[in-house]
A and B are shown apart, each in its own frame.
Chain A
């Protein structure tokens, strides 16, 4: 019997080994192995789509560690499936991009092996409902990330990587506490079982579980004020890794809040005022992050840090959307926003990487006039940055629209949300401002850079591919929304 999820989880781990075997001879072969693995992985994941569309979820259960009392469950529903798909799409783009982007670097066999290992963690987080497996993958993605940032990053890369590791690991401690508490209370590690069993648990502990989980996930999500690790890590990482950091890793935080804090713990908290207070908290921190990220992006001059701050801003949108739980518009909007943001921001980081590689510059004040020299990057940056600014016909607009829609919907019942939603709507002007400034300084006016070569085909291809994805998601979001809303949430 073909078991697509187990296959998707384990294949990259084995391919890491294969990369080591072939990578000694040819770096291209190593890249090809990882690429092929990711494509196979994506295919395996895609085979589940019809099942999920018709039944709402898909589950594989394996006998594992009987002592813990829970089987190893690999589980996808609409939400996790769409996250897994976009993750793999981004990994494929990142690997392909690396072929051109990293060509002059050393030790690429290890790089691609780490990429393959990273895939295990990134995909694993989304395709399981077992808290232990989830936690394992959650932590496991740190290790390859640490070495990739440190080993192939810029400037003080190990320092940035260290900061990233310590911060997210500190967050993970809170998550582990939560996992332990849930196991203690319910005797199961399965999220879906735990959700019903937690109902009978003492309220006093539940609220602390919620806080522990949310705090831990918020660190990974880089919500202001625990965003401190993000700008350094995103800016100093090599571009493909930045794309994955922004496109998948921080979004895993948002996904986990939705799946665990809100989906599993919150429904058991019977005190309605407490619940709404928690959600208010998410809403307020969402607004703060959205504004803070956008304004720092507006003032920043380092091209990758601008994009990094923009990620903080967008996680603010996601957090705000999460605060609308369990409103359908809000939840679907958030997940769609995660998908759209992954594609758009991943693309924007690749664009930034291409610009940095071709010009050797980071400061946007030193650039200018690149539109005529790197036309493809210019078009693709225009697409990704307009999507980031929430301009229609590009992906992020639809999801922001849904989130705002949910926000005002919530405002009818509770006027608090009228205010926060209005603020979020205002924040989009700031997004447009930093995006236009970036585009202006990099691509327009007279060129200040003398000789710029065109980007290589391996860099152009993933950029073009993601550009198409961003436009298609913006024009025809129906199928992906259908997939997301097949999930039973809230």
Chain B
């Protein structure tokens, strides 16, 4: 896997940026043998170098057209191993490397007392390498390979505590559900290959016009399914909550900041190909908006502290998808990516802050929490940043990115879409606020009085602060980002005071009001909200809109069908057939042998009787007298002579 022109580090860095973490991951188990400190140092050094390599690519984003030359990889179908250096891939690579490093540092402290850390860091580095490989790939095969490898890492890390049955079960669920999306993506890629005979992006982007529209639609929809499942969008979004069985650092990196963005990346990457297909655009925007709303409502209801950022991620990616699909014009595309980065900061921070809380409390149930603000002031501050940034309070990042998405959707003019997005925005603030009140406000809960709670260790606080700074200031980097991505967009100061901003802020207030009344002031007790007219809604949310019941039913059905096949067909038919055949052959053999023997005996018998009977007549010939013999012999001889004479 050595690139052909190892001239300078510049030519190598697009390769090394993913090959280095991949190669280092294999070394982790060996380094672990040397010592745990050495291993920790090694991992951090790899993380830092990866980030430096990623950053060194930024200036090259616009210089290289197709990236460095590829290496021959799979000869028969002419697939080359290659890297793609363009603004989109470099943007993602840097984000992954940055969050990856932050999470690695955080893990040093967060995971310090766990067993199996070699395995943990192996999969973390493997993930970082694969994820960067995914975005740097220059063909669909490479993309797909890394797409599956990050899925594998996700499985392994969700099941990290493999002795806990829930973690194992969740891992299997996550892997199987995302695999369903993966095969759709695979089919899409292969149908595209079948029609164009190439897997390389650059050729496909040039020649996709040759594919007939119906086929291109099918390909687009299949790829969209793959992207939506990977990004935990409706209807296969439920795996993301199950993935919360993972250590929180893993949830932050994989299920908050980077891996779930693979779908966003894919949609953004294939946008030029499919943006001419109305069905594709409509599905993206509508499913995205719907997911934004449904995910937000689920986050509003969950009692699980990790459920909040999990469903929030589902919902926020819905915003991104809606933006990517809203219209063919590039502002939507840009808004989706802008929000993607904002989200990586604030949601990553959200996970890390929550990780600190779980680390101290040892529980994920928010109903057992409350009044944490005195014991964990720094984490409290971080959580406030999360809330502000996530809901879109100015000047935090989401105000710019989500505000842009909201205003773009507003201009689309579709009233249902606008309602969905704005109510999702309102609920976003509501659930964030609820989370804050439940965990930090009020008196200490009885559970908390029993245990001693400290502020999170320094290393965890420090690494989280990086993301806090990002959440706070990234919104102001919209214009440079637009320039970097080559989109014609400029944020103007006066849009702070536009009608759209006002609407956005009002929406937030509407969302916050019920929470203020129910949780903060406790004017309306939560139990009353759950009973009465809203009880149906409560049950609906309790069961996550029954999506999991449906999928559980499907899984159960497949298992039942499999056992039926095994029981009824395999054991009762296919296992028995050979024995039935064998025993009938044996029976036939025995039967015929018996009959044959009987027949033979009878034949011999009959012959004997017949012989005995006829022998009386024949006996006369054998008179015993010599003259008779001589006569017979002579007559015979004469007969022969006559025959001879006749033939001559």
Binding site for B on A (CB under 8 A): 163, 166-167, 225, 227-229, 231, 292, 295-296, 298-300, 328-329, 332, 369, 371, 386, 391-393, 397-398, 401-402, 404-405, 407-409, 411-412, 418, 421-422, 425-426, 428-430, 432-433, 436-437, 440, 443-446, 475-478, 481-482, 484-485
Contacts and interface: CB of A to CB of B under 8 A. Distances in A.
B566 interface: yes
B76 interface: yes
A146 B271 CA distance: 59
Contact of A412 (B74, B195, B567): B195
B305 to A, nearest CB: 25
Given A299-B565, A440-B168, A482 B194 contact: no
B193 interface: yes
A426 B163 contact: no
B414 interface: no
Most buried by B among A231, A392, A404, A421: A392
Interface string B551-587: 0000000110111011100100011011000100000
Interface of B is mostly: helix
B565 A432 contact: no
A9 to B, nearest CB: 30
B426 to A, nearest CB: 38
A481 B149 contact: no
B559 A329 contact: no
B577 A404 contact: no
A296 B570 contact: yes
Given A411-B194, A425-B186, A433-B176, A478 B574 contact: no
A476 B1 contact: yes
Interface stretch (B95-103, B140-148, B368-376, B615-623): B140-148
Contacts of A478: 72-75
B199 to A, nearest CB: 9
B574 A391 contact: no
Contacts of A300: 566
Interface in B373-395: none
A300 B571 CA distance: 11
A476 B79 CA distance: 12
Contacts of A476: 1, 73
Contacts of B195: 412
25 contacts: A166-B582, A167-B578, A228-B577, A231-B570, A295-B565, A295-B566, A298-B558, A329-B76, A391-B149, A391-B152, A392-B148, A397-B145, A408-B190, A409-B193, A425-B190, A428-B179, A429-B176, A429-B180, A429-B183, A444-B159, A475-B1, A476-B73, A477-B74, A478-B74, A484-B76
A426 B76 contact: no
A391 B148 contact: yes
A436 to B, nearest CB: 5
B77 interface: yes
A299 B559 contact: yes
A328 B565 contact: no
Nearest to B578: A228
Contacts of B35: none
A428 B566 contact: no
Contacts of A163: 578
B570 to A, nearest CB: 5
A166 B586 CA distance: 14
Contact of A371 (B149, B162, B172, B578): B162
Interface in B145-177: 145-146, 148-149, 152, 155, 159, 162-165, 168, 172, 175-176
Contact of B566 (A299, A391, A404, A429): A299
Nearest to B26: A471
Contact of A329 (B77, B144, B164, B558): B77
Given A167-B578, A292-B565, 9 more contacts: A228-B574, A299-B566, A386-B152, A409-B194, A411-B191, A412-B195, A421-B187, A428-B179, A433-B176
A330 B58 CA distance: 41
B interface bracket (residues with beta carbon within 8 Å of A): 35 or more
Most buried by B among A231, A430, A444: A444
Nearest to A404: B190
Contact of A436 (B1, B144, B172, B574): B172
Contacts of B574: 225, 227-228
Contacts of A405: 77, 190, 193-194
B565 A296 contact: yes
- What are the 5 tightest A-B residue pairs by CB atom distance, in nearest-first order? A392-B145, A408-B194, A299-B566, A299-B562, A295-B562
Contacts of B176: 429, 432-433, 436
A226 to B, nearest CB: 9
Interface string B187-207: 100110111000000000000
B191 A393 contact: no
A425 B183 contact: yes
Contacts of B565: 292, 295-296, 299
A460 to B, nearest CB: 15
Contacts of A436: 155, 172, 175-176
A407 B191 CA distance: 9
Contact of B172 (A299, A440, A481): A440
A429 B186 CA distance: 12
A477 B190 CA distance: 19
A429 B148 CA distance: 13
Nearest to A167: B578
B187 A422 contact: yes
A295 B148 contact: no
Contacts of A292: 565
Nearest to B159: A444
A434 to B, nearest CB: 9
Contacts of B164: 445
B76 A404 contact: no
Given A408-B191, A412-B195, A432-B179, A446 B163 contact: yes
Most buried by A among B73, B75, B561: B75
B242 to A, nearest CB: 14
Nearest to A297: B562
B120 to A, nearest CB: 14
Contact of A229 (B172, B562, B578): B578
A445 B72 contact: no
Contacts of B187: 404, 408, 421-422, 425
A189 to B, nearest CB: 31
Given A371-B162, A428-B183, A332 B76 contact: yes
Most buried by A among B163, B191, B194, B559: B194
A85 B296 CA distance: 57
Contacts of A445: 162-165, 168
B61 to A, nearest CB: 28
Contacts of A443: 162
A485 B75 contact: yes
Nearest to B567: A299
Most buried by A among B76, B141, B164: B76
A432 B148 CA distance: 12
A446 B567 CA distance: 29
A445 B165 CA distance: 6
Interface in B102-160: 141, 144-146, 148-149, 152, 155, 159
A94 to B, nearest CB: 27
Nearest to A429: B179
A402 B183 contact: no
Given A296-B570, A481-B76, A485-B75, A369 B163 contact: yes
A481 B181 CA distance: 29
Given A229-B578, A328-B76, A436-B172, A295 B561 contact: yes
Interface in B56-101: 72-77
A111 B419 CA distance: 76
B383 to A, nearest CB: 34
Given A295-B562, A481-B75, A426 B152 contact: no
A445 B562 CA distance: 24
Contacts of B76: 328-329, 332, 402, 481, 484-485
Contacts of B172: 436-437, 440
Contacts of B566: 295-296, 299-300
